Amino acid sequence: MPTTTFDARFSDPDAGPLPWERTLALLRDAELYWFTTVRRDGRPHVTPVVGVWHGEGLCVVTGTGEQKARNLEYADAVTVTTGRNTWASGTDVVVEGHAARVRTGLGDVAAAFLAKYGEAWRFEVEGEGFAAPGGTAWVVRVRPERVIAFAKDPHGQTTYRFAPA
């Protein structure tokens, strides 16, 4: 379990900390995530991805020729965001951590994608990745170091910190 802190400086007086279980449910149930990596020259790269929470982190898939895969070869620090594109309601979540390739248990990860997204995201395990047009796609897991939940009604900021893996 993470260490939870509530930041009253950025929160309404009526707000309180969100329990980790609620934030974890938001991460598990989100349909779309924004995945941010850093290019070799320091510029950020952001792309929408689908993902599943599996094995203490968020798993996403990337083709080996995609920009995010090339960036991850250089630097494994990532930020992933999800939430609602509105100011009035919902909760936005930011995950800061490091991405690492998943090379074992890929069948379980593929089953999690199928259960969450259906046939549109059915993956077949091929070697140390998933079969993809033009070659094998990598599965990467983002293990959080810090997660920040921004509740909107009332506004509240809760931070969760995780022990190093």
Q: Summarize pLDDT for 85-114 with one digit per residue, the tens.
A: 888 889 999 999 999 999 999 999 999 999
The domain that contains 144 carries what CATH number? 2.30.110.10
Q: Greatest CA separation found in the chain?
A: 54
What per-residue confidence (pLDDT) applies to 131?
A: 94
Strand 155-161 vs strand 3-6: parallel, antiparallel, or unpaired? Answer: antiparallel
Instruction: Count CB neighbours of 135 within 10 A.
Output: 12
Q: Summarize pLDDT for 59-85 with one digit per residue, the tens.
A: 999 999 999 999 999 999 999 999 988
Overall number of domains in the chain: 1
**Domain that includes residue 38, residue range:** 3-161
Q: Name the nearest CA neighbour of 75 among 42, 33, 35, 34.
A: 42
Write down the pTM of the prediction: 0.94
What per-residue confidence (pLDDT) applies to 151?
A: 95
